[in-house]
Amino acid sequence: MIEKVIYLEGVEPVDILGVNNSRFERIRTLFPRLKILSRGDELKVSGEESDIEEFENKIDLLVSYLHRYNKISSEDMDELFLSEEENPNKLKPEDKDVLLYGESGRPVRAQTTNQKLLVEESAKSDLLFAIGPAGTGKTYTAIALAVRSLKRQEVKRIILTRPAVEAGERLGFLPGDFKEKLDPYLQPLYDALNDMIPSRKLKTFMEEGTIQIAPLAYMRGRTLDNAFVILDEAQNATHNQLKMFLTRMGRNARFIVTGDITQIDLPKNQDSGLIMAEKILEGIRGISVIHFDQRDIVRHRLVKSIVDAYNKEDKKVKK
């Protein structure tokens, strides 16, 4: 008889063991020849070596399932614990169209032609520009790619940033401390992350710095290694700000820059760095530009019509 400690790495123990260890009791009944004790993220197991090895394989399977789908039911757990003969396909084959499984196991997919193109180009280029109107899923798809890379351990952290131009980067007139002033402006980034990562895990990631959300001004002076970095609302970055951001790129870094050049909030005497960057960087190997349009809009059906109507009006004004 031997004793071994098995760690539930990268998951919340309650997701596997259940509230008040309700599922843990079920696990113990499935392995009656083992003595199993639970403490935090540790399972202390005593028994014959072959039984412990089988138990560890099943626990690894549960953890893998939870990593992939972000949820596991009692029925899933029972199915995964069946013997090899009864259940040869413990994990369903991965759907290639699914970027990841979000909160409650909901699949997150690239839905439109240009969203799919963004996914394809992300495998080829370390720097991508996704430019197009609101509601086309530029940022959402980019964040899904970032979370997928983190899950696959391709990067060590995710960094999301925006130029805080709508508050003029002078936030004194807003109520609250600095974080409270900025959080409403950065909320769309939090919303996307909440769709894709269970809240407890997301909180841990943010506390540990694995996921960071900050205004663009905070990128100055940093070297961003082993990171998936997204600059959102880049149409509101000046030429110097965007140059500063792009030169933060470190080793094993992947950058996606998103923006809508029809919604520039910069003062009239300042040019958008996004427009200038597309021209300056044209033709450089390893940089891809994807232009989204009205066909990619995935919000309410009226949004396409609204964007189209504004585009027509803008053309009239320019004539």
Looking at residue 318, its pLDDT comes to: 62
Question: Do residues 162 and 109 make contact, with C-beta atoms less than 8 angstroms apart?
Answer: no
Looking at residue 166, its pLDDT comes to: 54
Digit-coded pLDDT (tens) for 102-119? 876 788 888 899 999 999
Question: Do residues 100 and 147 make contact, with C-beta atoms less than 8 angstroms apart?
Answer: yes
Looking at residue 127, its pLDDT comes to: 97
Which residues of the chain carry a pLDDT beneath 50?
Answer: 85-88, 167-169
- What's the per-residue H, E or C state across the chain? CEEEEEECCCCCHHHHHCHHHHHHHHHHHHCCCCEEEEECCEEEEEECHHHHHHHHHHHHHHHHHHHHHCCCCHHHHHHHCCCCCCCCCCCCCCCCCEEEECHHHCEEECCCHHHHHHHHHHCCCCEEEEECCCCCCHHHHHHHHHHHHHHCCCCCEEEEEECCHHHCCCCCCCCCCHHHHHHHHHHHHHHHHHHHCCHHHHHHHHHHCCEEEEEHHHHCCCCECCEEEEECCHHHCCHHHHHHHHCCECCCCEEEEEECCCCCCCCCCCCCHHHHHHHHCCCCCCEEEEECCHHHCCCCHHHHHHHHHHHHHHHHHHC
The encoded tokens of residue 13 equal 């123990």
Q: pTM higher than 0.85 for the full model?
A: no
CATH number assigned to the domain covering 2-80: 3.30.1370.10
* 157 to 98, 122, 196, 224, 267: CA distances (angstroms): 21, 17, 15, 9, 33
- CATH topology of 2-80 equal to that of 98-318? no
Q: Where are the domains of the chain?
A: 2-80, 98-318
Spatial neighbors of 10 by CB under 8 A, at least 6 apart, are 63, 67
Looking at residue 317, its pLDDT comes to: 63
Looking at residue 198, its pLDDT comes to: 83
**Strands 42-47 and 35-39, how do they pair?**
antiparallel
In a 10 Å sphere around its CB, with 0-12 CB exposed, 13-18 middle and 19+ buried, how is residue 86 labelled?
exposed
We find that the CATH architecture of domain 98-318 is: 3-Layer(aba) Sandwich (3.40)
The encoded tokens of residue 299 equal 């919000």
Looking at residue 85, its pLDDT comes to: 47
